[in-house]
Structures are given as structure tokens and as C-alpha cells.
Amino acid sequence: MSDPVRLARRVAELARCSRNEAEQYVQGGWVKVDGRVVEAPNHMVSSEAVEIDPAAQLQANEPATVLLHKPAGVDVATGANPALALVTPATRWSQDASGVRLLQQHFQRLVALAPLEREASGLVVLSQDRRVRRRLVEDMDAIEQEFVVEVDGALDPWGLGRLGHGLAYEGRALAPCKVSWQNETRLRFAIKGVRPGQLRDMCAQVGLQVLSIRRIRIGRIALAKMPAGNWRYLPVGEKF
């Protein structure tokens, strides 16, 4: 049995490349140890079979941003039932067309962004990318979000107009937003700077009780037809 060595060193020997290039191959998910992908260059190997994917490419791995269809009852960030627990290789949407290769490192250090009530469902963003974090924290009030809200009750006279312009929340006059009926029981809101609890309060002010809330868009990024509990990657270059 040979003495244990770092996986990156073994890859450098097999590929006849530099140690730095070998580390990129490993971190890129191109190397298997006894048939299992290992992404840690410091992983120690001795007599194990080390294979390099013939399609391996030397390229830096971009930080991942994940778009999750959060079910109702799941916490976005902290809580007993966090959204992060739903993001696993098994729950990646089968129709994800991002072209991003799935890597284990993509499930580490994900930060939940864009608040959404626990009892609401819909689009949630989790990201490793500082640029995305900055965008969805510093500029969030300027980004339009779209919600479908199922309601019950009788809408007050002029209620639809008041929802669009004329209400206040927590003592602050609300900026105009776009509101329309999607069908007989569902309202569609296109709104900026929305706060947790705001949509429920707005509807209550015009005589409606909210039964469910679903966020279907943040900026230019839409939930589309992704099922609840599934996620997909945000393609590199696609922005909110």
C-alpha cells in the first residue's frame, strides 16, 4: 500500500499538470475516488482508484445562486423548518435549464435573501454570491415583486383602487402598486418595498381575508412552473 497523499497531488501526477490546475479539476467535480466524486483537494488517497473525467475543463467555479419554490409553512432563513433544508441534489428541478453543473460545494454557505412570510409560498433566493446578496439587500425596495393572493370576502366599494393607491401600513403611506383580479378569488399584486404582513393588512383594509400568498416573481426572475419543494440554479449572467 502506498503512503497517503493529497488528492490534488495524485491528480497532478495523472494529468501531468500543475498542482494549482489539479486543485481546479478536483474542486470542479471532475475527479472520482473509487467511483465517487470528491471535491476536496486535501482529501487523502493511497491505493484508491482515482479517475479524471475525460471532459474535465479548467475553469473557475462561480458562486451559486439557488431559486427555490418554498412551500407554505417553511421558514425562509431561521426557524424550526428552514428553506435551506429543502435544497438538496435530489430536489433539483428536472427541467432546470441553467446549464450549471451540480457540485456539493453549491450547498455550503448559502444565505437566504428577500424575506417571505412563513405561511406564504413561492420564490425564495439563496445565494453564495456577494453581488446577488448586495442586490437583494441594498436595492430590494426598488425591485418589483409579484404575488398571487387568494382572498375571501366582499371587496369594499372602490377597494381595488384603494389597494393600488391610498392605503397605509404601520403608520406609513404606501407607494402606488399594480393590483388586478386574476380570477374571482385571486388578486395579483406587482409591488415594491413590500414588508412581511403588509399584503394581509392591505386586503383586510378593504374587507378581504387572505387565504394564501404566493410570490411568483422577483424583478426579472420568475417562479415559472417549478413545483413546490424544487429548486433550480440562477444562470450566470441572469440578473434580478
- Give this prediction's pTM: 0.83
152-158: list long-range contacts, CB under 8 Å, 24+ apart: 152/185, 152/208, 152/209, 152/211, 153/207, 153/208, 153/209, 154/207, 154/208, 155/206, 155/207, 155/208, 156/206, 156/207
pLDDT given at position 144: 98
Question: Do 5-52 and 144-218 fold alike per CATH?
Answer: no
Cβ–Cβ < 8 Å for 147, 122: yes
171-226 pLDDT, tens digit per residue, is 999 999 999 999 999 999 999 999 999 999 999 999 999 999 999 999 999 999 99
179: cell is 393590483
Question: Is 144-218 in CATH node 3.30.2350.10?
Answer: yes
Class of the CATH-defined domain 65-140 = alpha beta
- Give the CA angle between residues 167, 169, 175 to the nearest 5°: 55
- Based on C-alpha coordinates, what's the Rg of the chain? 23
Percent of the chain with pLDDT over 90: 67
126-172 pLDDT, tens digit per residue, is 999 999 999 999 999 999 999 999 999 999 989 999 999 999 999 99
pLDDT given at position 67: 98
pLDDT given at position 28: 80
Average pLDDT over residues 80-87: 91
End-to-end CA distance of the chain: 53
Class of the CATH-defined domain 5-52 = alpha beta
Four-residue CA torsion sign, 199, 200, 204, 209: positive
pLDDT given at position 11: 81
pLDDT given at position 215: 98
Average pLDDT over residues 19-30: 81
Q: Is the pLDDT of residue 82 over 80?
A: yes
pLDDT given at position 1: 55
103 or 218: which carries more pLDDT confidence? 218
The residues spanned by each domain of the chain are 5-52, 65-140, 144-218
